[in-house]
Structure 1
């Protein structure tokens, strides 16, 4: 069985409790953003939805960053209006953007536009924007990250794409719940980010991560697509 603390495919940072986890992750994100702003005048980051990162985003918004120099977009999105409370855009707006005064947000879903056009616009935006200095990821108990779901009919196509974003139909994948249609960052798109953070809570998530490494099968455990990108190692922040 894989020992997570001694393998060299990513860096695992264990935190004593949720408060320490939130504080440390927010501080690291602020540091990456400030270094990017110092070097280039602006910074761009990609955020995930879900309840796990929401308190981190709230803490981050309170830190000393020139938010008017920060562009924000999403790692992935459900095929929902950005005004829908179940969308990732809504969570990011409520937990972060309403507190980080001046930060600019680029949603992945454009109201009134078909899915293919939204993906095209997302790719165009990504290709003509500053390279992301930071991407924040989560992982489901099925081993998915972003909207790369195991068993999806579109998984191979998304993984092999040379574009930053792809549409994905996760019909039949339990982890997608009632929102099978998605826009997701591809491994190619994720690889463009200078720093990647994976935020995990609970022992079960470490067990899934260990199972993924033991399987070495990125189709069964798509989280491996975020681990084995090369370049800067993925940083995994965990607390129970």
Structure 2
């Protein structure tokens, strides 16, 4: 397995290190090709990283920020990753960054899939950074255990970048089970895949994922065990 673990004694040091690493990779992307693409996840864990990054004097107008996944809700509803990224990352210096969301005007995610696919297909590839999180159920992005659409989303030969997912409702999903997510194939088109987790409970889930092989049970395994791209895991208590 191509996994590098960067474990820190406290979250403040993790936040600074991850922000530094992201800033460095984005600058390198701009140096190499004139632009960079930053694929971002929602959730409370990366929020302080985004707030720190937003203050960095990067050439943000040359960095496209795009969502890893989204609940099929309007921007003004609770749970919108679009709104979360606008409030956390697209502030300060980073307010200049172009932003690509996933929610379309379609009634459901399945109907919005083609439009999402077209939009993400226009992003320059390889993507520079894909920052992922992980739930206590072993999901990452909106790749939820045994979800409707999961097998297609994990098919690396399928060629799609975006897939509609209907998760099985749980304490982790909350009420919004209808999602749009990047596929495994899309995530693997990132130069740099970073997995951010915090706390002893998530560390236990991560270690359980490494021990098993059933990707439908714990979809994070599809990232950790794919063997094609290195994954850097960031953790602090």
Aligned to 1:145: 140
Match of 1:45 among 19, 38, 50: 38
Gap change, CA 1:70 and 1:120, over 3 Å in 2: same
Q: What is the deviation of 1:150?
A: 0.7
TM-score by length of 2: 0.93
Alignment of 1:127-138 (within 5 A): 127-131=121-125, 132-138=127-133
Aligned to 1:226: 223
Q: What is the deviation of 1:169?
A: 0.6
Say if 2:118 is the partner of 1:121: no
Write the distance in 1 (CA, Å) between the matches of 2:162 and 2:227. Answer: 19
Aligned to 1:76: 69
Contact kept, 8 Å, 1:149 with 1:175, in 2: the verdict is no
Match of 1:58 among 35, 51, 58: 51
Aligned to 1:104: 98
Q: What is the deviation of 1:171?
A: 3.3
Alignment of 1:174-213 (within 5 A): 174-213=171-210
Gaps of 5+ in 2: none
Contact kept, 8 Å, 2:134 with 2:195, in 1: the verdict is yes
Select between 133-142 and 94-103 the one with higher mean Cα deviation: 94-103
- The alignment partner of 1:176 has SS state of coil
What is the Cα-based RMSD across aligned positions, in Å? 1.5
Contact kept, 8 Å, 1:149 with 1:173, in 2: the verdict is no
Select between 208-217 and 50-59 the one with higher mean Cα deviation: 208-217
- The alignment partner of 2:201 has SS state of helix
Contact kept, 8 Å, 1:200 with 1:236, in 2: the verdict is yes
Contact kept, 8 Å, 1:171 with 1:181, in 2: the verdict is no
Give the number of equivalent residue pairs: 233
Say if 2:211 is the partner of 1:238: no
Contact kept, 8 Å, 1:152 with 1:173, in 2: the verdict is no
Contact kept, 8 Å, 1:133 with 1:193, in 2: the verdict is yes
Select between 85-94 and 25-34 the one with higher mean Cα deviation: 85-94
- The alignment partner of 1:24 has SS state of helix
Gaps of 5+ in 1: 1-7
Contact kept, 8 Å, 1:196 with 1:233, in 2: the verdict is yes
TM-score by length of 1: 0.92
Write the distance in 2 (CA, Å) between the matches of 1:85 and 1:201. Answer: 23
